[in-house]
A and B are shown apart, each in its own frame.
Chain A
Amino acid sequence: MTSLNVPAPRSGGCLIEARDVYRSFGHTPALTGASLAVTTGEILAVMGPSGSGKSTLLHCLAGIFTPDKGEVWFDGERLDTLSDTRRTELRRTAFGFVFQFGQLVPELTVTDNIALPLLLGRTGRKAAYARAAGWLPRLGLDGLGARRTGELSGGEAQRVALARAVVAQPKVLFADEPTGSLDTLTGELVMDLLVGVAREEGTTVVLVTHDARVAAYADREVLVRDGKVIDHSDLNVKVGQ
């Protein structure tokens, strides 16, 4: 494999883009000139071994980390130079997140957790809960609305996390090892739902995984190694389609 920087398409279809991004943690470099472009509506899988920097790349794309060097763009706007307040707002309104575990608020019920982004966005209480309740049947969470998240199984919790990530109709869904703590069957169920929702809502998805079976759900796959995006494959055939 040759070391390539993935070309950064500058066409109108590009929604989110990293250009030659560097990021270190102390003396440990995580990204060393990573470049990546994601088009609107695309499901992109970012693969790589543990410690390769794929999660760091995701976090830079989501505006969670500020790169030490390089640029990050979102929807024509430079992301890495925005204020923390503006980036927080973007994460609340334009991005959704699904992590591997521990992302739900344990004191809140399922419906509370799903409605939380809407409440934070000043949506009225009634409207927020109505929209949140609408996601329960779509993700197979019927009857679980009043349960506390601590009482859910792993798969149920991830579906709640997914519902919370998409309830505000974000433009981009960032998923970091969303099935990492699930068994194969449950993982497939979650991925089916994630991809299905993304297609229905037209949401762009950036998916970090080390599991090839999960990556198979993506339209496109990139590989991160030693802090660089060094491989690129364009998957035309998606699993399940």
Chain B
Amino acid sequence: MYRLGLRLTLHSGREPFVRLVVTAAAVAAGVVILLAVLADFHAFQVTSNRPSWESTQGQPVGRDYASAPAAELWNYSNDIYRGQTIERLDLAGLGPGAPVPPGITRLPASGQYDASPALAALIRSVPADELGDRFPGRLAGTIGQRALTGPDELVIYVGYAPAKLAGLPATTVVSKIATAPGRQIWSSYFRDAFVVGAIAFVFPILILVGTATRLAAARREERYAALRLVGATSRQISVISSVDAVASALLGTILGIVIFMLLRPALADTAITSARYFSGQVTPTAAGYLAVLVGVPAASAISSLLSLRRVRISPLGVSRRVTPPAPTAWRIAPLLAGIALFIVGLDLTSKKSIGAPVFPGLILILVGLVVGGPWLTAQAARLIGRFTAGASSLLAARRLADNPRAAFRSVSGLVLAVFLGTVLAGLLPAVESITATPSARALSNVLLDGFTAAPVCGNNVNCTGGSGPGGTQPGATPLQQRIALEGLPPRDAAALLSGLRAFRGAAVIPVYSVPQHGNSSGSGSGGPVSSGPGGPVISGPGGLPGNGIISCAGLRELAVLGQCAPGRTAVQVPAQNLFDDNPQYSTQPIASASSPAASASASGLYLQDVLVKVNSPATLEKVRTYLVTHATQSASGTAPRTFGEAVQAREGVAATVQRLIYIAVLLTLIVAGCSLAVAVGGSLIERKRPFTLLRLTGTPTSTLYRVVFLEAVLPLVAATIVAAGIAYGIAVLTVRTMAPAGTPAPVPGHAYFVTMGAGLIASLLVILASLPLLGRITEPGSARFE
């Protein structure tokens, strides 16, 4: 029976062969996309699970640090170049047994550094005063793949003498390098985004496979009836049908795998998340290949067997198809449950969970749209049938009502794409409005560096401050304590500011610390010291810790931070607000007409922070390089950055999720488009006879065109409106629950309407493109019914 099935599939003439090719092509398209997703997910998993040397924890540097021979000193920090993060590890071996970080074979000596290939190329290609000068010494070697997440990662190991490195803040003693995967806070969100995206287009891929498998099912069934006439059993018919389905699906799967392998290098070269993965990792696993090779033909066989259930193939022909029962209203239960679950998830979400509880509801809504779609289609068909008069709408409405499942199946992928795209388009403006505020944008080219030992900041993403060696450690001298609290001493400050002012295109605005009690002359220890959340506090008159003095002329350069009252030359401001980890708050005005006046003279004042407004990316990097090399290394672990870079870092996660979702939407549109084309074409072939007879009996071709058009457009429009409406409602609820009060209601940008409009127009074009086929195959002149 298997051999007969194969023979019938491969050697039955032109039409079955064309059907085989079309089915294989459709399956191949779906397989290519499926393998691409599996490949990227595998790369993401491998990268997430690699040993995270960056997570290595060490011990504080004690006085006897040098007596640990099998250890080394580590100082891990982040630098930035043109928006790209550079992971920097300053290290100094304490003996021959010191552990070697991954990617290199020996520790770099003092005056040497090892860089990742991408960073080495960057250092070679850009002016030294913009980047290379930050790293003392010369390039000694390349860091290998084991230490990196991708070919574009910028990593550097800088060798130091132990005594020098021990004196820097945040240096630790490390005797064992971490090998466990890093616990990235956003990994689970990326994983969830992958899952959501995968569900969104696994459905269309399965539908494409199923639709292609059912191509011209009626004509195959007539053949099966002939086989039954000569004695084949129902079971044998099922076998033949399965062989037919599996053969075309297997051919398509193999073709898809071959095409994927040819396209894999291009895929590896594409940054799906924020950066590329290593080419060798962008591949499905062997299990993934096997799952596709077995799963797709199996899905096709199952689809074929399921479609046979609707018909009884008897020796006398295909028995009358029993009209399937209309979808009941229970079909929208998953959709409603998903909405309810989403609302509950929103209620449960908090700043810590950051939305994780809403994912089950979101996934259930996606499932619910697919399950409830046929019911929505049936209702739309009933409305159309009731309120329109023409023959074409009658034919279309009845056909949709007769089998709304089949009608919705061909557009379900498009509906999911609309849903995801609308959610994203609704949320993004809110994310942008609370991150990239107008004031943040106005300060996007302003770099901030702080020089106190304990900067007030929420996390390393935005924190730039912190300088002064060991200022808060036990045994620190009064001067060291003062430096830790108030920043750079006057002479050091003057030298630094002079160097900064030498850069063309840089406007330098210093912020001096308000002198504490007894410290106005720059000497003395001030009031009693106590511990506070931000570090040691000198209590007493002189202002709160973090208050600074800024010139009114400087404020005029940074207009969004406020203005002085007329006649004043300098004011006191709460400068610690500049270090908030949310750009929405860090760029709020700090000065106003009521800000206390201060002396414009900087004589004797310690430099707390400096703001540098730059006019170009090159100037920014030169200023940053200067600060990194001339100010004592930051204790916060981050090089100074602009407010714009802080916004970019904060938006980075949202941008990555957005990219993943848009890619999912695009892939879904492609797959769904193929599915729609196959479904429309297949339905025309299946209805060749009744359509031809309608034409024979005087039905104009234009009427039939309208019928086909309405059958495809009605479910698309009905389900799209519902999906977009639900998605927008979700966006509104999310913004109301999670965004700060006053965040504007989500309004999708023009890009959303352009994208969705283009997708819908492309769908309409697919439908319209099938109409000439309708005209050709239903030519009365070619009707032969003898």
Contacts and interface: CB of A to CB of B under 8 A. Distances in A.
Chains A and B come from one and the same complex = yes
Contact of B698 (A55, A108, A120, A176): A120
A50 interface: yes
A108 B395 CA distance: 7
Interface string A107-124: 111001000110110001
A119 B394 contact: yes
Given A107-B395, A119-B390, A97 B781 contact: no
B695 A88 contact: yes
A106 interface: yes
Interface stretch (B239-247, B362-370, B686-694): B686-694
Given A55-B786, A150-B321, A103 B391 contact: no
Contacts of A50: 786
Nearest to B689: A102
B700 interface: yes
Contacts, number: 92
B698 A64 contact: no
Given A150-B321, A151-B320, A105 B694 contact: yes
A7 to B, nearest CB: 28
A232 interface: no
B697 A125 contact: no
Q: What class of interface size applies to chain B in its complex with A? A: 20 to 34
Given A89-B698, A97-B697, A148-B323, A125 B389 contact: yes
A69 B387 CA distance: 48
Contact of A91 (B697, B701, B785, B786): B697
B377 to A, nearest CB: 14
B320 A150 contact: yes
B703 interface: yes
Contact of B699 (A51, A92, A112): A92
Contacts of B391: 116, 119-120
Contacts of B395: 105, 107-108
Interface in A91-143: 91-93, 95-97, 99-100, 102-109, 112, 116-117, 119-120, 124-125
B86 to A, nearest CB: 66
A90 interface: yes
B501 interface: no
B303 to A, nearest CB: 22
Contacts of B699: 88, 92, 120
A99 B785 contact: yes
A96 B697 CA distance: 7
Interface string A77-91: 000000001001111
B698 A107 contact: no
Given A108-B398, A112-B394, A65 B781 contact: yes
B780 interface: yes
B323 A150 contact: yes
Contacts of B689: 102
B698 A92 contact: yes
**Mostly helix, strand, loop or mixed at chain A's interface?**
mixed
A88 B786 contact: no
B402 interface: yes
B397 to A, nearest CB: 9
A106 B401 CA distance: 12
B783 interface: yes
Contacts of A89: 698, 700
B763 to A, nearest CB: 23
A105 B690 contact: yes
B164 interface: no
B517 interface: no
B697 A92 contact: yes
Interface string B661-696: 000000000000000000000000000011001111
Contact of B783 (A64, A105, A117, A151): A64
Interface string B755-786: 00000000000000000000000001101111
B781 A66 contact: yes
Most buried by A among B394, B698, B699: B698
B19 interface: no
B659 interface: no
B525 to A, nearest CB: 93
A92 B701 CA distance: 12
Interface in B686-722: 689-690, 693-701, 703
Interface string A172-214: 0000100000000000000000000000000000000000000
B176 interface: no
Nearest to B694: A105
A120 B701 CA distance: 11
B690 to A, nearest CB: 6
Contact of B780 (A64, A90, A104, A125): A64
B784 A25 contact: yes
B134 interface: no
A92 B693 CA distance: 12
Given A105-B395, A107-B395, A100 B698 contact: no
Nearest to B321: A150
A82 to B, nearest CB: 13
Interface in B26-41: none
A223 B700 CA distance: 33
Interface of B: 320-323, 389-391, 394-395, 398-399, 401-403, 689-690, 693-701, 703, 780-781, 783-786
17 contacts: A51-B786, A59-B780, A62-B696, A64-B783, A85-B700, A88-B699, A88-B701, A95-B697, A99-B693, A102-B689, A102-B693, A105-B690, A105-B694, A107-B398, A120-B391, A120-B699, A148-B402
4 tightest A-B CB contacts, nearest first: A92-B698, A91-B698, A119-B391, A107-B402
